[in-house]
Amino acid sequence: MVKEDFGPHFEWGVSSAAFQTEGAWDADGKGPSIWDVFTNRKGKIKGAQHACTACNFYYGYQQDIAWVRKLNIPNFRFSIAWPRVFPKGVGKPNLKGLDFYNRVVDGCLEQGITPWVTLYHWDLPQALQEKGGWTNRDILSWMEEYAGYVVSRLGDRVKRWMVLNEPAVFTGAGYFFGVHAPGLTGVRNFFPAAHHAALAMGRIGRLIRSEVQNGEVGTTFSCSSIHPASSRRRDVDAAIRADALINRLFIEPVLGLGYPTADLKALAAIEKYMQAEDEKALPFDFDFIGIQNYTREVVASSPFVPYLQARLVPAIKRKVPAITAMGWEVFPPAIYEMIKKFSSYPNIPKLIVTENGAAFADTVLDGQVKDAERKQYLIDHLAQVLRAKQDGLNVHGYFVWTLTDNFEWAEGYHARFGLVHVDFDTQQRIVKDSGKWYRTFLSR
Ligand code: FCB
């Protein structure tokens, strides 16, 4: 497999996110985000770790952008920390915060790297959470104010925009299970948060399109291929419900198909938060859809689980041959299945895999990180992406998650996903074998 197999226009990249890398949590007028607050709550993050410094990207961004170039990666996806630009969420912008992103964008362009910017990768200003965050419909106008400002300042140089990162994860983990910020639980938080996130995609998508000339507007979705635990009817039905929740809840309203209530009846309760004009406001014709896949899920029927009546059978219990530090099964066909699934929707101009990668317990030995498992993971997943491409499916790009090891949300720092190893005490970087492999792959 060589790069050329994917054709001359295939987009190659690497992805990252502000909260996971920047650190400098209160520098230069930045306001606190929900993640700054959540990481301080007892028992929420493994080892009570926090992201006050993380990868020090705020101060060391030039070196890390230089790593992107050294690895021959033409596209760098990063996100903007909303509370850096609007410390209170709305109102007076913080010029120093915006200036940081001006420098990051210019830094990319100077090194010949195309910046891809995500507007919301989970770090909501805490001031807005105090007004309900995503459960409050005003989030639409708050985000419009933030996005309008950022896009009008960076849109002359940034042409690739993504509205949200994985709405299913930040609303599910953050507003239903309470395992991510802001740590809220239950359907009375989840349903309004989900509906407002769905509306935000169209609302902000339209705004970007009207502001940015020659831009491409996208948004990104998490997805896992869902396999029933057995061929018994009840497990197959459970898998259909889980698929509606995990893979379809956000893409279908965007495509004008409405929420997948026919396959997951519990979703009908979302309608309580619908206003008259919403049905028309949900759809938006994105230029590209980012899909982010790491694994598959095996689903069994479970009458005790409310709403879903289904449960995920953990990889560890299934005795799978390979498992990552996240406890996720290594299952390369999943990415092919997801590209196929999303390609079967009409009206998606193109799919880009905006995240794929793996965490393993790396060790540094004589200044080297021989991460054979990660390298193999990437090769095997790319082979599946190529298979999808050769089958004529709609995939046009691939971004590795992620450049450097970083703060993996509730997992803290043990889950290392980087192509470049980070010593979090010294901030020293060492390119891993997987990074060297990607560099060689992209060099031809
Ligand atoms: C995705 C997130 C990203 C990272 C990877 C491992 O769900 O978008 O920030 O944490 O998982």
Q: Contact 111/74 with Cβ under 8 angstroms?
A: no
Q: Which atom of ligand 1 is nearest to the CA of 220?
A: 8
What does the pLDDT look like over 338-360, one tens digit per residue? Answer: 999 999 999 999 999 999 999 99
Kindly state if the Cβ of 35 falls inside 6 Å of ligand 1. Answer: no
Residue 121 is classified by DSSP as: S
Kindly state if the Cβ of 51 falls inside 6 Å of ligand 1. Answer: no
Task: Tell me how far the alpha carbon of residue 232 lies from the centroid of ligand 1, in angstroms.
Answer: 33
Please give the structure tokens belonging to residue 410.
Answer: 């509730």
pLDDT > 70? residue 157: yes
Kindly state if the Cβ of 410 falls inside 6 Å of ligand 1. Answer: no
Kindly state if the Cβ of 355 falls inside 6 Å of ligand 1. Answer: yes
Task: Tell me how far the alpha carbon of residue 231 lies from the centroid of ligand 1, in angstroms.
Answer: 31
Task: Tell me how far the alpha carbon of residue 321 lies from the centroid of ligand 1, in angstroms.
Answer: 23
Q: Which atom of ligand 1 is nearest to the CA of 409?
A: 10
Specify the pTM: 0.98
Q: What is the tally of structural domains in the chain?
A: 1
Q: Which residues pair with 79 in a beta bridge?
A: 118
CATH number at residue 253: 3.20.20.80
Task: Tell me how far the alpha carbon of residue 92 lies from the centroid of ligand 1, in angstroms.
Answer: 30
Q: Strands 420-423 and 428-431: what pairing?
A: antiparallel
pLDDT > 80? residue 444: no
Task: Tell me how far the alpha carbon of residue 143 lies from the centroid of ligand 1, in angstroms.
Answer: 21
Q: Using alpha carbons, select from 246, 118, 132 the residue that is nearest to residue 189.
A: 132
Strand segments, DSSP code E, in 57-100 are 75-79
What does the pLDDT look like over 109-120, one tens digit per residue? Answer: 999 999 999 999
Kindly state if the Cβ of 408 falls inside 6 Å of ligand 1. Answer: yes
- The boundaries of the domain holding residue 244 are 3-443
What does the pLDDT look like over 221-274, one tens digit per residue? Answer: 999 999 999 999 999 999 999 999 999 999 999 999 999 999 999 999 999 999
Kindly state if the Cβ of 16 falls inside 6 Å of ligand 1. Answer: no
Torsion of CA 300, 255, 210, 167, to 10 degrees: -10
pLDDT of residue 423: 98
Instruction: Share the mean pLDDT of the chain.
Output: 98
Task: Tell me how far the alpha carbon of residue 423 lies from the centroid of ligand 1, in angstroms.
Answer: 20
Q: Rounded to whole angstroms, how far apart are CA atoms 3 and 440?
A: 10
Q: Rounded to whole angstroms, how far apart are CA atoms 423 and 77?
A: 22
Q: Best substitution site from 122, 163, 247, 292 to test ligand 1's pocket, by max atoms within 8 Å of Cβ?
A: 292
Task: Tell me how far the alpha carbon of residue 356 lies from the centroid of ligand 1, in angstroms.
Answer: 9
Q: Print burial letters for 91-125: b (CB count within 10 Å at least 16), e (below 16).
A: eebbeebbebbeebbebbeeeebbbbbbbbbbbbb
Task: Tell me how far the alpha carbon of residue 216 lies from the centroid of ligand 1, in angstroms.
Answer: 22
pLDDT of residue 318: 97
pLDDT of residue 252: 98
Q: Rounded to whole angstroms, how far apart are CA atoms 155 and 152?
A: 6
Kindly state if the Cβ of 17 falls inside 6 Å of ligand 1. Answer: yes
Query: Reduced to 3 states, what is the DSSP secondary structure of residue 31?
Result: coil
Q: Best substitution site from 166, 179, 377, 416 to test ligand 1's pocket, by max atoms within 8 Å of Cβ?
A: 166
Average pLDDT of the residues in 400-421: 98
Kindly state if the Cβ of 123 falls inside 6 Å of ligand 1. Answer: no
Count Cα neighbours of 301 within 13 Å in the Cβ-side half-sphere.
10
What does the pLDDT look like over 307-327, one tens digit per residue? Answer: 999 999 999 999 999 999 999
Average pLDDT of the residues in 384-396: 98
Kindly state if the Cβ of 422 falls inside 6 Å of ligand 1. Answer: no
Please give the structure tokens belonging to residue 406.
Answer: 């970083």
Average pLDDT of the residues in 178-192: 98
Kindly state if the Cβ of 409 falls inside 6 Å of ligand 1. Answer: yes
Q: Active-site residues: which are they?
A: 166, 355
pLDDT > 80? residue 102: yes
Atom 4 of ligand 1, residue of closest alpha carbon: 408
Kindly state if the Cβ of 222 falls inside 6 Å of ligand 1. Answer: yes
Q: Which atom of ligand 1 is nearest to the CA of 169?
A: 7
Average pLDDT of the residues in 183-203: 98
Q: Rounded to whole angstroms, how far apart are CA atoms 344 and 322?
A: 29
What does the pLDDT look like over 273-307, one tens digit per residue? Answer: 999 999 999 999 999 999 999 999 999 999 999 99
Atom 9 of ligand 1, residue of closest alpha carbon: 17
Share of the chain above pLDDT 70, in %: 100
Q: How far is CA 162 from the centre of its chain?
A: 10
